[in-house]
């Protein structure tokens, strides 16, 4: 975790006095920590997998209320 946060803060130093897209940076940070903990690799190495998982979650959430259970109206 510490290594991932240090990398993020290093990127932020380049933006002194400029606006930073914090949401995107924290999204990458969270993915980076999960990747390092679960898979032993960085987020950037598995970025395509995370993008596919994100799309899959969006598709699932859109279709969640479209599912019908027989007998329940």
In-domain check, residue 72: no
C-alpha angle 19-5-28 in degrees, rounded to nearest 5: 65
Q: What is the mean pLDDT of residues 37-44?
A: 72
What integer is the mean pLDDT of 41-53?
74
Residue 60 lies in a domain: yes
Model pLDDT for residues 49-69, shown as the tens digit of each residue = 778 888 998 988 887 777 677
Q: What is the rounded average pLDDT of the residues 32-52?
A: 76
CB 31 within 8 A of CB 24: no
Query: How far is C-alpha 9 from the geometric centre of its chain's CA atoms?
Result: 17
For residue 55, the enclosing domain spans 2-66
Domains held by the chain: number: 1
**Tell me, what's the pLDDT at 31?**
81
Residue 22 domain-assigned? Answer: yes
Compute the distance between CA of residue 63 and CA of residue 69 in angstroms, rounded to an integer: 13
In a domain, 21, yes or no: yes
pLDDT in the model for residue 72:
67
Is residue 53 a part of any domain in this protein? yes
Q: Could you tell me which of 31, 33, 23 has the C-alpha nearest to residue 1?
A: 33
């Amino acid at each position: 975790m510490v290594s991932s946060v240090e990398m993020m803060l290093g990127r932020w130093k380049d933006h002194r006095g400029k606006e930073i897209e914090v949401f995107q940076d924290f999204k990458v940070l969270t993915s980076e920590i999960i990747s390092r903990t679960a898979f032993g690799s960085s987020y950037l190495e598995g970025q395509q997998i995370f993008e596919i998982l994100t799309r899959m979650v969006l598709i699932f959430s859109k279709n969640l209320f479209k599912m019908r259970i027989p007998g329940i109206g």
